[in-house]
Amino acid sequence: MSGKLALNKAVFVPNDERMLAAVQVKRRTKKKIPFLATGGQGDYTTFICLSATNKRPVQVYITKVKQFQGSSSFVRRSQWSIIQLREVNALDSIRDCPEFDLTFENGSDQWTAGSAGEKSMFIQILHHTCQRYISERKPDFLNCHPKLMGAGNSLLHNAADSVSSAVQKASQALNERGEKLGRVEEKTGEMMNSAQHFADTAHKLAMKHKC
């Protein structure tokens, strides 16, 4: 089982949530800790996760999860509702870079992802999720490459174009069928008129010879 699948199963599934995205990160700026107790838990890996509840109304959260060295278990740390998110700063809209910042109502964190691609995927899904689940006061996405912001819209446009194309094809097929049916009805009418004319002529001839 991959790390992110194990993370989802251990942290979110028991809470009736589903993980939408996760990115492994390291803090760019160390937090000032005035006192560090001895016998600490040692090195750890940090994940920033995006999750949603399975029950409606859907609640979306951003959660910081840690996995300590030598342990297969995950520890849920800080958690924010997505509506507390104020700003996502990708730091560079042109060059691919793994750094990004998240700003919430009560503070901000500066992170470095494992790779630029992993960061881009997380921001892309985060942006799409914010557009879907936040109706008011959406967070600002700064210094993001346009492809990250337009991916969800392009998928919707492609789907709409596909539907429109299908409708046009169906309409065209119906029109063509209608034209064919119209021609058949016209020919049928002509045949019926011809048959009626033939029947009338035959009847007149029969009456003439009878007289």
Task: Tell me: pLDDT of 112 over 60.
Answer: yes
Task: Tell me: pLDDT of 92 over 60.
Answer: yes
Alpha-carbon distance 32 to 101, whole Å? 18
State the pLDDT at residue 16: 95
Q: How confident is the model at residue 70 (pLDDT cuts 50, 70, 90)?
A: confident
Task: Tell me: pLDDT of 11 over 50.
Answer: yes
Q: How confident is the model at residue 146 (pLDDT cuts 50, 70, 90)?
A: confident
Q: What is the pTM of this model?
A: 0.66
Query: DSSP states of 75-143 as a string?
Result: EEEEEEEGGGEEEEE-S-SSS--SEEEEEETTEEEEEEES-HHHHHHHHHHHHHHHHHH--SSPPEEES
Residue, of 168 and 88, whose pLDDT is higher: 88
Its CATH architecture, for the domain 3-31+41-144, is: Roll (2.30)
